[in-house]
Amino acid sequence: MNNIKQLYICKNLDELEEKTAIPDVRTREMRSLLETARKISQEATKRYNEGDQEAAYILYTRYFNLLNNIHKRDNYPQYKSQIRKILGDNQTNKLTMDRLEDLTKSLDKRYTLLNKNANLSNANDITQTSLMQLRKLDLTSHPNNQIQRSRSVSPLRNGVERNGLLSAITCQQLYDCMQAQSVLVMDCRSSGDYGKSKLNYPLSFNVPADIIRDGMSAGKLQDKLDQESKKLWSARAIKDQVVLMDWNSSSMELKAHSPIGILLDILQRWDPDVVYRSPIRILEGGYEFFVMVYPTYCTNPTVVTPQLSSTLIESSAVIEDIEYPSVNDIQLKDDIIAKNQSNSSLTNHKTSSSGRPTVDRSSKSAAMKLYDEKRNAINEIAKEQEVLLEKAKENDEQLEQIAEQLNSVDRKKQLINGEKEMMYQFMQLESEAEDYKNEITRLKAELHHYRRRDEEEKANLPIQLVKDVEKIEAKIEERERVDEQRKKERQQLAEKFAIANKNECLTRNNNSKPQFEGNDLEENKENLKQSLPTTKLNPPQFDRSIKPKHSSPVDTEERVRNFSPVSGKVGRGLTGLKNLGNSCYMNSIIQCLSNTPPLAEYCVTDKYKNYVSRNNKTRGEIVDEVAALIKMLWTGGYKYVASRDLKYVIGQYQKMFRGYEQQDSHEFLTILMDWLHSDLQTLTLDPLREPMTASDKAWLDFTKAKESLILHLFYGQIKSIVKCAECENESATYECFSNLSLELPENDSTCDLRECLDMYFSGERIHGWNCPRCEHRRDALHVTTKHAIKKLNIAKLPPVLVIHLKRFYADTDSPSPSYKKKMNYLRFPLQNLDVSPYITVSERKRSTPTLYRLYAVSNHYGFMESGHYTAFCKNEALNHWYKFDDHMVTSLDTSKVISSAAYILFYTRLSPLQAIN
C-alpha cells in the first residue's frame, strides 16, 4: 500500500458503513452480476494500493454484499465453476476478507484519533473546533491545493488551463470567494437534490443534470434553464471565478461523460461568445464535502448523500463498454507474428519435447506401427505429387502455346480483342502455376519432416522407404528449376503486355466519345442485328404510365439504355459482361453484387424504386443503372451484355472511372457502396433506446437518422479501443465500415484467413497518446509497461461481410516509387467462417449469429501495371459455383474457388438453423 491518504469521506465507521449498500440487483442477470463484482473488486484493490482506505473499505464491502446476493441465487449451482473462474476460489476471497478486516481495524483507530483531536462535545454536533480541523484536512488531503493558491488569475479563453490540467478549488477557497461574492457557482446535481439542499448563496444556481446532454452548445443549454437561472447564467463572463460542482466529483478523476464533465466541455469548447476571467474550476469533493465543512452555508445541512458515490464506482454502470479489464488480456500483434513463425517450423505430427517420435523402442509392434504410419504418409504424398506435377505440366503446355502467339505483341501499337483475351487467359494460367508451385512447396515441407525423422531412425529404417523419399525430393527439385526458368520468361511477356495495354489506353482515351467508344459502335450494331430477331426476350421495359414516386431532376424512366445484348439461353444470373476496355474490375464487382440474393431481388423486383433519394449528389442515378444492369443479368436470355450506361454515369461522378485505364476493384467497390447507400438512404430509423450508448450515437451520426438496404446488408461498426498499460483506463471510438482490409503475412507463401483476422484484430503498442486519466504521454518505444495499446473489435456485424486482402504494397526499396503484389496462397473457408473471437462484449450479448458462408470472390491476376479481374460466384438458385470472366461464364469446380488470385471475399451470415445444418 502507498502512503495512506487523509480521511475525507466520513467521520466514523457507522457513516462509512451506510455507504456500502448496493442497489436492488434481483432483476440483474447472473453474468452481469459477475462482471460487476469483478469490476468492483478490481477497483477496490486499486484504491487499496493507492492508500485510499475509506474508498477501499466501501468497495470491498460492496463486493461481499454482492457476492452474498450471488450465493443466494437459485441458479448459483449451475454457475459455480464460472463464478470460481471470474471471482476466484474460497482461498482468494478469504484473503480479501482478511484485508477488509485489517482496513476495519485501521479505520476505527484513525476515526477515534480524529474525533479525539477534534474535541467533539457531542457526537451529533459539529463544533467550531471540529470545523477548523476539517478545513485543515480539506486543505491537506489533495496535493494540488497548494498549487492552486499560486496560480495566476489571468484571463484565458473559455477557461482552459495553460498546462491542460483541470483547475480545482477547495471548500475553504470557495468559502472565501463567496464572502467576497466574486464567484458564480453552477450546481449540476439533479433538480430534486438541489431542492432538498443547496448553497445559501445568492450567486449559486442549478443546471439540472437531466438537461445536460453531449453535443449541446452553451446557447442551447441556456434555453433550457428557468428565468432566474438564465439571469445568473449571463453573469459567467463578469465574475472572477466560475465554479462547477455536483455531489462529490474530483478534478483528478472527472468522468468525461458525467453531467459535470459534459457541462465543463460545453463551457470550454462550445461557448464562443464568452471570455472567462479565470479557468473554470471544479469544487474538490463536491457538495457532499462542502456541507460537512460549512453546514451553516447550506439550506439543509442534514441532507443524506446518494448511496452511489461518483468518486467511487457506479455499480449499476453498463459494464459491456469495458472490453478488456486488464491490458494483459489483449493479444499483441508482435506475439502473433512470433507464434506463427514458430508454428511454421513445427509439424502436424505428435513428437516428444526433444522432437523425436514417442515410440517405445523395446516394442517391435510399436516400431512397425510407426513405419507403417510413415510409409502410408509418404505414399499419400507421392500420389498427391503425381497429380500436382501432371496438372502443372498441362498448365505449362497451355502457357507455352499462348506465349508463342503473344510474342508478336511488341510489334503492335495496341492489342486486339483476341490477343487481350489470350493475355487474360495467360495471367490466369500463370496464377494457377503459382498455386501448383505453392502446393508442391507444401509437400516438400512435409517430406522434410519425414526426412528428419528418417535420419533419426536411419539404422532401422527400410531402405525402400529412404529411396521413395529421395525420389520424390528429386522430382520436386526438378520442378523448382523449371519454375525458376519460366518465371523470367513470363515476367518478360507480362512487361510487353503492360506496354501494349498502356498504349491502347492512351489511344482509346484520345478517341473516346460519351457512352459509345471507338470501334465498339459498329460491333454494337452488329450484335443488335444478330440478337434481336432471334430472341423472344427483350430487355426489360418500363411501364411509362406509372409516374416515379419521387420527383427527380433526372428522367430515369425515359432513358434508353444500350446493353448491346447477345442472345442465348442461359441460366438466370449467368449472363456475362462485355469488357469495355479494361473494365474487368467493374465487371467482377457487379457480378459479385448480382449474386448477393437480397440485393438482386431488391433490384429485379423494382422494390428499390420506392426508396430512391433524388436529393443527394448522385441523384439516384447510380442505383438506377446498377438495378437495370442486374435485372438484365437475371433475365436468363442473354449470353452477355454491356454495361456502358453504368460506366458512363459512374464516370460523371468520379473521373478515374471515365477512361480505359485499369482500376482497383476494391476502390471501385468502396466508392460504389457509398453511392448506393446514399441513393437509397430514405429509410427512417426506429427510435433508439435512451440513454444511447456510445456505439448508438456513432451509428446515428453516420446514418443521419436515415438508413438503406445497402447499410443494412453491408455496413458494420468497428470499436477502436485504446488502453493505458499503467492505469488500465480504456477509451473507445466507433467507425462504420463496408469492408475489412486485411494484411497478408510478409514472407509466407501460404497462409490462412484466420491468421490475417488475428493480425487485424490484435493489439498494437502506440505512441503519442495522452492518457486522460493518469495524464501521462504513452510511448510504445519504451520497453516498459508505460505504454498504450490499441485494439479493434467488431461492434456491429453486417449480414454480408466483405473482406479485402491487401495484396498491393509500396516498394520502398525500389529506386523509383512502385507497387508490388503479394502472391500469397490464402486458404479461406467456404463454410462456417467464425468471427466470434473478434466481436465486442455487447455484440456477443445480443446473440448475433457469427458464422458466415462464402458466396463470391473477386480475383486479380497479374501485377499492378498489367492485371485482369474475374469473379467466382455461387448461384443461389442453382446451388453451384461459376466463373465470371467478362463475357465468358463457365461452371467452376468447388476446389478451384480457393486460389492465390483471391482479392475480395464476400461472406453471407448464416442463421442458427443454417449453421446447424
pLDDT in tens, 140-182: 333 333 333 333 333 333 444 433 346 788 888 899 899 999 9
**90 and 214 share a domain?**
no
- Residue 891 covered by a domain: yes
The dihedral through the CA atoms of 675, 679, 680, 685 has a sign that is positive
Please compute, for residue 689, the number of CA atoms within 13 A of its CA located in the half-sphere on the CB side.
3
**101 and 245 share a domain?**
no
Residue 890, H or E segment: strand 888-891
Instruction: Give the Cα separation of 135 and 129 in Å (integer).
Output: 10
In the prediction, which pLDDT does 153 show? 33
Q: How far is CA 510 from CA 348, 518, 657, in A?
A: 58, 10, 15
Q: Which residues contact 196 (CB under 8 A, 6 or more apart)?
A: 300, 303
**105 and 176 share a domain?**
no
Cell 433550457: give the residue. 224
In the prediction, which pLDDT does 713 show? 95
- Grid cell digits, residue 876: 443461389
Helix, strand, or coil (residue 791): strand
- Number of domains comprising the chain: 3
What are the strands, taking DSSP E only, across 643-798?
A: 683-684, 706-707, 716-724, 730-737, 740-743, 750-752, 764-766, 769-770, 777-778, 788-796
**19 and 109 share a domain?**
yes
In the prediction, which pLDDT does 141 show? 38
Task: Choose among 408, 423, 397: nearest CA to 486.
Answer: 397
**722 and 819 share a domain?**
yes
Instruction: Give the Cα separation of 688 and 693 in Å (integer).
Output: 10
pLDDT in tens, 618-633: 899 999 999 999 999 9
- Residue 711 covered by a domain: yes
Cell 463544533: give the residue. 127
- Grid cell digits, residue 845: 450479448
Burial track 189-211 (b if 16+ CB lie within 10 A, e otherwise): bbeebbeebbbebebbbbbbbeb
In the prediction, which pLDDT does 534 show? 35
- Residue 730 covered by a domain: yes
Instruction: Give the Cα separation of 505 and 362 in Å (integer).
Output: 74
- Residue 731 covered by a domain: yes
Helix, strand, or coil (residue 398): helix
DSSP state of 298: B
Instruction: Give the Cα separation of 726 and 770 in Å (integer).
Output: 12
- Grid cell digits, residue 493: 511477356
The set of long-range contacts for 443-449, using a CB threshold of 8 Å and a minimum separation of 24, is 443/381, 443/384, 443/385, 443/388, 443/472, 443/476, 444/473, 444/476, 446/347, 446/377, 446/381, 447/378, 447/381, 447/472, 447/473, 447/476, 449/347, 449/349
- Residue 680 covered by a domain: yes
Instruction: Give the Cα separation of 875 and 342 in Å (integer).
Output: 40
Q: Is residue 657 a contact partner of residue 670, using CB atoms and an 8 Å limit?
A: no
DSSP state of 49: H
Q: Which residues contact 140 (CB under 8 A, 6 or more apart)?
A: 6
- Residue 53 covered by a domain: yes
Cell 433526372: give the residue. 554
**218 and 111 share a domain?**
no
Backbone angles phi, psi at 225, to 5 degrees: -85, 155
- Grid cell digits, residue 404: 508463342
Helix, strand, or coil (residue 459): coil
In the prediction, which pLDDT does 814 show? 66
- Residue 358 covered by a domain: no
Q: Is residue 337 a contact partner of residue 748, using CB atoms and an 8 Å limit?
A: no
Q: Is residue 796 a contact partner of residue 809, using CB atoms and an 8 Å limit?
A: no
In the prediction, which pLDDT does 461 show? 57
In the prediction, which pLDDT does 548 show? 37
In the prediction, which pLDDT does 717 show? 96
CATH number at residue 709: 3.90.70.10
- Residue 860 covered by a domain: yes
Strand partners, 244: 186, 282
**655 and 769 share a domain?**
yes
In the prediction, which pLDDT does 341 show? 62
Task: Choose among 289, 240, 340: nearest CA to 142.
Answer: 289
Q: Is residue 869 a contact partner of residue 428, using CB atoms and an 8 Å limit?
A: no
In the prediction, which pLDDT does 361 show? 36
CATH number at residue 64: 1.20.58.80
Catalytic residues: 584, 868
Q: Is residue 245 a contact partner of residue 199, using CB atoms and an 8 Å limit?
A: no
**580 and 721 share a domain?**
yes
Specify the pairing of strand 683-684 against strand 576-577.
Answer: unpaired
- Grid cell digits, residue 422: 489470350
Instruction: Give the Cα separation of 695 and 594 in Å (integer).
Output: 31
- Grid cell digits, residue 27: 432483476
Instruction: Give, in degrees to the nearest 5, the angle at Cα 624 between 620 and 626.
Output: 120
**806 and 687 share a domain?**
yes
Cell 438482386: give the residue. 600
In the prediction, which pLDDT does 204 show? 95
Instruction: Give the Cα separation of 407 and 496 in Å (integer).
Output: 9
Which residue, of 93, 119, 145, is where some domain finishes? Answer: 119
Task: Choose among 606, 578, 663, 6: nearest CA to 285.
Answer: 6
DSSP state of 385: H
Task: Choose among 5, 229, 249, 243: nearest CA to 106.
Answer: 5
Task: Choose among 410, 398, 420: nearest CA to 867.
Answer: 420
Residue 820, H or E segment: strand 819-821
CATH number at residue 211: 3.40.250.10
Phi-psi region of 847 (alpha: psi -120 to 50; beta: other; left: phi over 0): left
Q: At what angle do helices 621-633 and 584-594 cross, to 10 degrees?
A: 70
Instruction: Give the Cα separation of 282 and 290 in Å (integer).
Output: 12
Q: In 595-643, which ranges are continuous DSSP H helix?
A: 597-604, 621-633
**91 and 195 share a domain?**
no
* Segments of the chain with pLDDT less than 70: 1-2, 118-166, 215, 251-253, 256, 307-321, 325, 339-374, 406-420, 449-462, 465, 485, 487-558, 686-691, 747-748, 775-786, 812-818, 864-866, 912-917
**700 and 804 share a domain?**
yes
Range of the domain at 657: 560-774+784-916
Q: Is residue 34 a contact partner of residue 87, using CB atoms and an 8 Å limit?
A: yes
Which residue, of 272, 297, 322, is where some domain finishes? Answer: 297
Cis omega (within 30 of 0) on the bond before 295?
no
Backbone angles phi, psi at 800, to 5 degrees: -115, 115
Q: In 20-126, which ranges are continuous DSSP H helix?
A: 30-49, 53-71, 80-87, 90-118
Task: Choose among 219, 227, 187, 224: nearest CA to 203.
Answer: 187
Which residue, of 239, 265, 297, is where some domain finishes? Answer: 297
Backbone angles phi, psi at 409, to 5 degrees: -65, -25
Terminal C-alpha separation, the chain: 57
**657 and 746 share a domain?**
yes
